[in-house]
Amino acid sequence: MAEQLLEVNDLCVNYKVYEGLLRVLNGVSLSVGSKEKVGIIGESGCGKTTTMKAVMRILATNAVVPSGTIAYKSNDLLKLGRQELMRLHRTSMSMIFQDPTAALNPVFKVGEQLKDIVRYSEFTSNAPTKQEVKTKAVELLKSAALPEPERILDSYPFQLSGGMRQRVCIAMSLASAKDLLIADEPGTSLDVTIEDQIMRLLKQIVEDRGLSVILISHSIGAVKGFVTKLYVMYAGTMVEEAPTDELFSNPVHPYTQNLLKAVPKLTGGGVPEGIAGRIPSYLTIGDGCRFASRCRSAKESCHVHAPPAFDIGNGHRVACFHYGDI
């Protein structure tokens, strides 16, 4: 197997809260190759953002990583020192967040924020002139398909529309993303037509620059046209992994099957059924399969032992003991 750009192995993350310990991530593994586009789908609270925060090392202060490794370009990200980590953030990997309004500081002009980032990522060795920084900033805004870049540099975030703010965030991440771009639900807070535009823009940028992408979403349709490999997460576990087409034509894990059925179809067919029950509490979660309490095909053993990931060929892996009979 080719050398992977990012490899997360058996990652566990807990959060310390007053009531006890939230055992959120339960042995999450994923890998992203060079120039590969990977998607993670799952519902809120499933731990996809926590996983990405662990990769970027921006977890909250009450987070604990008891086990697991994150290998990035042969560095162990979890053990890396501050300096090295900063260097990676400035020159190699970057993240776009869900809400562009929250990601931009409202009291600074867009230009100031963008130029700051440019200074730290493009010109790490030599001190640039003001003009060089500005030129680079304008170039970045142009590559994010923003019209009138000079005017935007001079605007405050509240003067821009939601779609434009997200494009500014994309431009900012392009300054430092030379290898890996993580996009956490980039279209969720936007209208459907704007989200469509943003996703197409991202796709084009990623292909032009040969970036690897991790795209997180709870909108399954948005992810489909974009990524080549999909991970499905539920309650802190990777329940299924497959190439995109394979996952849609042959979902194996009961959760994936139910999830795909639960999406209303544009062609009609009535209101889908949904999945009974709710996500288990991370405080009291047991050691068995985390989906067992809501799974119609669950057997006794499912509640006791957590299933490992079984390889069923074709790049398709499932975390379920009974994948054969479903």
Partner 1 sequence: MRRATSHGRFDYRKSWHKFSRNYLSVVGLGVVLLVAFLAIFASYVTLYPSHAEFYVNFPEAREPPNWAHLFGTDQFGRDVLTRIVFGFRYSLMMAIVVLSLVVAPGVVLGLVAGYYRGGKVDMAIMRTADIFLAVPPLVLALSICSVLTPSVFNAMMAVSLMWWPWYTRLVYSIASSLRNEAFVQAAEIAGASPFHIIFREILPNCLGPILTKMTLDAGWVILIGASLSFVGLGAQPPTPDLGTMVSDGAKLLPEQWWISIFPALTIVLVILGFNLLGDGVRDMFSAETV
Partner 2 sequence: MSAEEIMIVKGLKKYFKTTRGIVKAVDDVSFSVMKNETFGLVGESGSGKSTVGHVVMGIYGPTAGSITFMGNDISMGVGRRAKELKKRLQIVFQDPASSLNPRRTIGQILELPLRVHRLAPEGKYRERVLEIMDLIELPREFAERYPGEQGGGEKQAVAIGRALATGPTFIVLDEPTSALDVSIQAKIINMLMKFQKEFDLSYLFITHNLSLMRNVAQRVGIMYLGKIVELAGTPEFFSNPLHPYTKMLLSAVPVITPEEEKLKPEKVTSTGEISGALNVPPGCSFHPRCPFVMDVCSKVVPAQIEYKKGHYVACHLYNQA
Please report whether residue 161 would count as binding partner 2 according to CB under 8 A.
Answer: yes
Shortest distance (Å) from residue 135 CB to partner 1: 41
Please report whether residue 296 would count as binding partner 2 according to CB under 8 A.
Answer: no
Shortest distance (Å) from residue 268 CB to partner 2: 6
26 or 173: whose CB is closer to partner 1?
26
The tokens for 48 are 């996809």
Output phi, psi for 138, to 5 deg: -60, -40
Shortest distance (Å) from residue 234 CB to partner 1: 20
17 is in the binding site of which of partner 2, partner 1, none (Cβ under 5 to 8 A by kind)?
partner 1
22 is in the binding site of which of partner 2, partner 1, none (Cβ under 5 to 8 A by kind)?
partner 1
2 or 276: whose CB is closer to partner 2?
276
Please report whether residue 43 would count as binding partner 2 according to CB under 8 A.
Answer: yes
Shortest distance (Å) from residue 17 CB to partner 1: 6
Cβ-based neighbour number of residue 143 at 10 Å: 18
* Phi-psi group of 263: left, alpha or beta (phi > 0 → left; psi -120 to 50 → alpha; rest → beta): beta
19 is in the binding site of which of partner 2, partner 1, none (Cβ under 5 to 8 A by kind)?
partner 1
Output phi, psi for 257, to 5 deg: -60, -45
Please report whether residue 264 would count as binding partner 2 according to CB under 8 A.
Answer: yes
93 or 259: whose CB is closer to partner 2?
259
Please work out the total of residues on this chain that contact partner 2, with binding judged by CB under 8 A: 40
Per-position DSSP letters for 60-93, written without gaps between them: -TTEEEEEEEEEETTEEGGG--HHHHHHHHHHTE
Residue type for position 317: R
62 is in the binding site of which of partner 1, partner 2, none (Cβ under 5 to 8 A by kind)?
partner 1
Among 191, 207, 287, 311, binds partner 2 (CB under 8 A): 191
Ordered strands of the 63-72 beta sheet: 20-33, 4-17, 63-72, 75-76
Would you say 24 and 233 are in contact if contact means Cβ atoms under 8 Å apart?
Answer: no
Ordered strands of the 237-243 beta sheet: 93-96, 180-184, 212-217, 37-41, 229-234, 237-243, 317-318, 310-311
Write 255-258 long-range contacts (CB < 8 A, 24+): 255/291, 255/294, 255/295, 256/232, 257/326
205 or 220: whose CB is closer to partner 2?
220
85 or 194: whose CB is closer to partner 2?
194
283 or 304: whose CB is closer to partner 1?
283
DSSP 8-state assignment for residue 98: S
224 is in the binding site of which of partner 2, partner 1, none (Cβ under 5 to 8 A by kind)?
partner 2
User: Within positions 126 to 155, which residues make up the interface with partner 2, using CB under 8 A?
Assistant: none
- Which residues in this chain contact partner 1 in the complex, by CB under 8 A? 15, 17-22, 60, 62, 283-284
Calpha distance 114→286 (Å, rounded): 46
Would you say 104 and 165 are in contact if contact means Cβ atoms under 8 Å apart?
Answer: yes
